[in-house]
């Protein structure tokens, strides 16, 4: 089960058997507080991905971070899909939610040991695999309970349950097999191959099984959940700004740190603006307008489950580069405006923003069928700046990146003013109508 593969709407019909313990979602449902609580785990998870890469900055650590992020994302997406089918704060679902929160936290906690077991403790790779099975298995089990009265949905459920088991077996194999076959770099490559196979099984089956017999229950809930997780990822950049200069260690606050913090916030603000100002609203409105079930499923899958993952990765890599830059600038021994960025720092700082903007471009192309030339132009400028800033102080590199991003926000707002006004007006009218309806209900019943 992936997040977009949500169970058929069955408010008393359609073959699904509902009980007091499990209450169905509805087309107008929104994110629950339990789901927001679940998202808090991913604040730590994203931080751990960044820390894992920052501790051992290398191509190998980046690959491991991406693999770990892919599985964490699939767990998050599954819970988002579950919340689209059922009301996670009603009946027995809070117990399921708390179990999932605990397992997801352990999953994130063991990520640094998911690839290499450390002596003197529990076997990290096996603990990771077990937690992954618990998170994904719980999600699939709830859908199995919902579909138990419908033979077609039950067959569908078996198809969705199989990749969870296969992926878990591959993760277990990644923890116990490579060291028996080889050592050194060969062992690492074999382990990565097992991880890639597990991810291929989960994502591949999610792409191939289609949407027969399934549909997105609430478009608003689905869009809101993904908007919130983007905010969680952006929060990682704020945390990086705070932890990068190592204020806990009592290092003095300098003008270089202040300027770097302002530039870092400026870039993060533009990343927020590029998604939330218009694009997120336009994609959600399109999802609402897409009535045909299969088309809606394909849109939810492509635009949200698959294309939001590289957006998250881009934000995390930007946070990684920012964290390293701030930590170095804050050191008293560092020259006033820093030293040239390392190749790793430059790739993460600039590459993270590029990946995020390219993902936004792909999202607009898939959903709105338009090419957003302003972000693409910004990508070209950022890439062209790489050889220019390579010998320059790191503060200059960050300042130029912030300048390009601010120009991007201004140009996008001006050139897309008409489209922006229409999309935001529709969103405002929807919000006002919902508020009026809620106020009327409260006036009558409270």
Can you list the alpha helix ranges (DSSP code H) found in 290-393?
293-299, 308-330, 343-367, 373-389
Confidence at residue 294, expressed as pLDDT on a 0 to 100 scale: 86
- What's the rounded mean pLDDT across residues 235-262? 76
Q: Cα–Cα distance between 85 and 350 in angstroms, integer?
A: 39
Tell me the CA end-to-end span of the chain in Å, nearest whole number: 39
Report in angstroms the alpha-carbon separations of 408 from 51, 87, 269, 389. 30, 40, 12, 19
Q: pTM for the whole thing? A: 0.92
Residues in the chain, total: 446
Confidence of residue 318 (pLDDT cuts 50, 70, 90): very high
Confidence at residue 13, expressed as pLDDT on a 0 to 100 scale: 39
Phi and psi based region of residue 392 (left: phi greater than 0; alpha: psi -120 to 50; beta: remaining): beta
Residue 366 tokens read as 């898939």
Confidence at residue 152, expressed as pLDDT on a 0 to 100 scale: 67
pLDDT in tens, 106-116: 999 998 888 88
Whether residue 79 contacts residue 226, with contact meaning beta carbons closer than 8 Å, is answered with no
pLDDT in tens, 10-47: 333 344 555 567 788 888 888 999 999 999 998 888 88
Whether residue 43 contacts residue 238, with contact meaning beta carbons closer than 8 Å, is answered with no
Whether residue 343 contacts residue 275, with contact meaning beta carbons closer than 8 Å, is answered with no
Confidence of residue 254 (pLDDT cuts 50, 70, 90): confident
Confidence at residue 244, expressed as pLDDT on a 0 to 100 scale: 59
Residue 52 tokens read as 């894992």
Whether residue 49 contacts residue 112, with contact meaning beta carbons closer than 8 Å, is answered with no
**pLDDT(276) > 70:** yes
Confidence at residue 10, expressed as pLDDT on a 0 to 100 scale: 37
Map residue 19 onto helix, strand or coil: strand
Confidence of residue 208 (pLDDT cuts 50, 70, 90): confident
Residue 208 tokens read as 């191939």
pLDDT in tens, 343-389: 999 999 999 999 999 999 999 999 999 999 999 999 999 999 999 99
Domain boundaries of the chain, sorted by first residue: 33-215, 231-415
Confidence at residue 7, expressed as pLDDT on a 0 to 100 scale: 39
**pLDDT(313) > 80:** yes
Enumerate the β-bridge partners of residue 340: 393
Q: What percent of the chain has pLDDT over 70?
A: 91
Can you list the alpha helix ranges (DSSP code H) found in 86-150?
93-109, 124-146
- What's the rounded mean pLDDT across residues 137-164? 78
Can you list the alpha helix ranges (DSSP code H) found in 177-304?
178-181, 185-208, 219-243, 255-276, 279-289, 293-299
**pLDDT(189) > 50:** yes
Find the range with the poorest average confidence among 245-249, 254-258, 311-315, 404-408.
245-249
Report in angstroms the alpha-carbon separations of 191 from 11, 71, 117, 167, 206. 45, 15, 12, 13, 23
**pLDDT(61) > 70:** yes
Full 3-state SS string of 30-78: CCCHHHHHHHHHHHHHHHHHHHHHHHCCCHHHHHHHHHHHHHHHHHHHH
Report in angstroms the alpha-carbon separations of 439 from 243, 284, 351, 432. 42, 24, 46, 10
Confidence at residue 153, expressed as pLDDT on a 0 to 100 scale: 67
Confidence at residue 252, expressed as pLDDT on a 0 to 100 scale: 73
């Amino acid at each position: 089960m992936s997040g977009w593969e949500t169970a058929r709407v069955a408010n008393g019909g359609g073959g699904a058997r509902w009980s007091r313990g499990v209450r169905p979602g509805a087309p107008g449902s929104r994110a629950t507080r339990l789901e927001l609580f679940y998202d808090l785990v991913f604040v730590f998870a994203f931080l751990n991905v960044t820390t894992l890469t920052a501790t051992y900055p290398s191509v190998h650590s980046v690959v491991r971070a991406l693999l770990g992020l892919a599985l964490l994302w699939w767990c998050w997406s599954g819970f988002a899909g579950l919340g689209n089918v059922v009301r996670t704060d009603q009946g027995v679902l809070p117990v399921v939610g708390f179990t999932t929160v605990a397992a997801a936290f352990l999953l994130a906690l063991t990520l640094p040991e998911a690839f290499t077991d450390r002596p003197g403790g529990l076997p990290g790779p096996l603990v990771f695999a077990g937690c992954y099975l618990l998170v994904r298995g719980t999600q699939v089990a709830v859908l199995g309970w919902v579909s138990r009265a419908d033979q077609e949905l039950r067959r569908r459920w078996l198809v969705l349950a199989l990749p969870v088991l296969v992926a878990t077996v591959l993760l277990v194999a990644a923890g116990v097999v490579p060291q028996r076959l080889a050592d050194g770099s060969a062992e690492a490559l074999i382990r990565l191959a097992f991880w890639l196979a597990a991810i291929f099984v989960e994502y591949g089956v999610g792409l191939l099984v289609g949407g027969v017999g399934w549909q997105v229950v609430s478009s608003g809930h689905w869009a809101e959940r993904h908007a919130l997780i983007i905010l969680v990822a952006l929060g990682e950049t704020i945390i990086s700004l705070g932890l990068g200069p190592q204020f806990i260690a009592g290092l003095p606050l300098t003008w270089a740190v202040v300027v770097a913090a302002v530039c870092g916030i400026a870039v993060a603000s533009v990343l927020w603006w590029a998604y939330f100002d218009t694009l997120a609203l336009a994609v959600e409105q399109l999802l609402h307008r897409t009535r045909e079930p299969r088309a809606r499923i394909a849109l939810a899958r492509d635009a949200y489950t698959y294309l939001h993952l590289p957006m998250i990765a881009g934000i995390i890599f930007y946070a990684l580069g920012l964290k390293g830059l701030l930590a170095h600038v804050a050191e008293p021994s560092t020259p006033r405006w820093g030293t040239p960025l390392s190749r790793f720092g430059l790739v993460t700082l600039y590459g993270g923003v590029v990946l995020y903007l390219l993902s936004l471009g792909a999202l607009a192309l898939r959903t709105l069928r338009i090419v957003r030339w302003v972000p693409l132009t910004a990508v070209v400028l950022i890439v062209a700046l790489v050889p220019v800033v390579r010998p320059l102080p790191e503060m200059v590199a960050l300042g130029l990146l912030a300048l390009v991003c601010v120009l991007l926000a201004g140009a996008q707002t001006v050139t897309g003013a008409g489209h922006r006004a229409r999309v935001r007006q529709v969103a405002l009218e929807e919000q006002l109508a919902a508020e009026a309806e809620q106020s009327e209900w409260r006036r009558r019943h409270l």
